[in-house]
Structure 1
Amino acid sequence: MSLQLPTWYAPDGSVVSCTEKIKVMTENLQELGQMAQDAFEDAILMGCDEQQVRAFLVDMMQRLENPYQS
């Protein structure tokens, strides 16, 4: 799975340009993408409905909580 990652922006609209931060984001998202792909493939091999699995994964991502909100 090849991810096309966007330019990352801070809440104030400025570009996140720190090379180390971008490297960490890239590594984290590649790892997450591979884990999601593996879980998706396993679910299909176990006979789960593809659309239901996709919908669940989308819902799970939309429910992530920001622990740093003020």
Structure 2
Amino acid sequence: MSMPEMPKWYGDDGEIVSCTEKIKVMTENMTELFQTAQDTFEDALLMGCSEAQLREYLQRLVDGVENPYK
């Protein structure tokens, strides 16, 4: 699987994030995150870890990300 297409980003107010620099940073961050996750996933598979367990843990990892700006 390849990296999903980048979405249009929206604020909580429903307004689209249109700043070119912000979109560039989001694209770079998401690309880096995807590549790190892909590399980690491949390494774990080569070490004999369960694919199902890896996917479940990666989902839990994402679910555990907290918003410090609330």
TM-score normalised by length of structure 2: 0.94
Which AA in structure 2 matches 1:64?
V
Deviations 1:9-48 (A, max 9, x none): 0010000000000000000000000000000000000000
- The match for 2:14 is 13
Q: Which amino acid aligns with 1:12?
A: D
Q: Which amino acid aligns with 2:56?
A: A
Q: How far apart are residue 2 of structure 1 and its match?
A: 3.0
Asked whether the 8 Å contact 1:40–1:53 carries over to 2, the reply is yes
In the alignment, which residue of structure 2 is the partner of 1:36? Answer: 37
- Residue identity in the other structure for 1:51: A
The CA RMSD measured in Å over matched residues stands at 0.7
Give the number of aligned pairs.
69
Task: Give me the TM-score of the superposition, normalised by structure 1.
Answer: 0.94
Aligned residue number for residue 24 of structure 2: 23
Gaps of 5+ in 1: none
Aligned to 1:62: 63
Residue type matched to 2:27 in 1? T
In the TM superposition, structure 1's runs of 4+ consecutive aligned residues that sit over 4 Å from their partners are none
